[in-house]
Amino acid sequence: MRVIYWIPSYPDQVKLNFDGGYSPHLDRATRAGILRKSDGTTLMTFMEMLPHGTTSYDGEAMALLRGLELSYFLGYKKIWTEGDAKFLIETINGTRSDDRYGLETITKIQKILKKFEVYDVSFVHREANEATNELTRVRRRTSTDAIFIGEEELPKDVMKIVERE
């Protein structure tokens, strides 16, 4: 039996967990992410619906891109990203070629990563990424995209999800 849990970043880094989801009923993907300090304090959370016709692959890649854009915009220069889309992460890191994610999005991700002083893109099992997975489900049930800065803005149901990890 393996025990899987969220691991904090180094003290001088922030950590972005990201995830994408898909609803066949809506024929569209969702993206979500949580940015935290090394002590686990939530800095930013987002959950957004993507256009009709987007896939789960789009959701995963666009969640990473959106999280990186927001993190950079907020002034963070050292980042560790973690997601449960193994093929996406291997594609970003150059150890696999997978065209399901779209060359344009992959290129944008690689370009913004180079703006950070330090970055890492790594795979994590779904069990350690459950909060962002749940945020994609919450977004499918609500009617509004949302970006929350800090923990004070988080709705209680979203805060409970973040605190579980």
Please state, in angstroms and rounded to a whole number, the distance separating the CA atoms of residues 44 and 37.
Answer: 10
Please state, in angstroms and rounded to a whole number, the distance separating the CA atoms of residues 133 and 96.
Answer: 24
Please state, in angstroms and rounded to a whole number, the distance separating the CA atoms of residues 143 and 79.
Answer: 30
Q: How many percent of the chain have pLDDT more than 70? A: 94
Residue 23 CB-half CA count within 13 A: 18
Q: Tell me the residue length of the chain.
A: 165
Q: Does the pLDDT value for residue 94 go beyond 90?
A: no
Which range among 34-43, 89-98, 116-125 shows the weakest confidence by mean pLDDT? 89-98
Q: Does the pLDDT value for residue 101 go beyond 90?
A: no
Question: Which pLDDT tens digit goes with each residue over 28-80?
Answer: 899 999 999 999 899 999 999 999 888 888 999 999 999 999 999 999 999 99
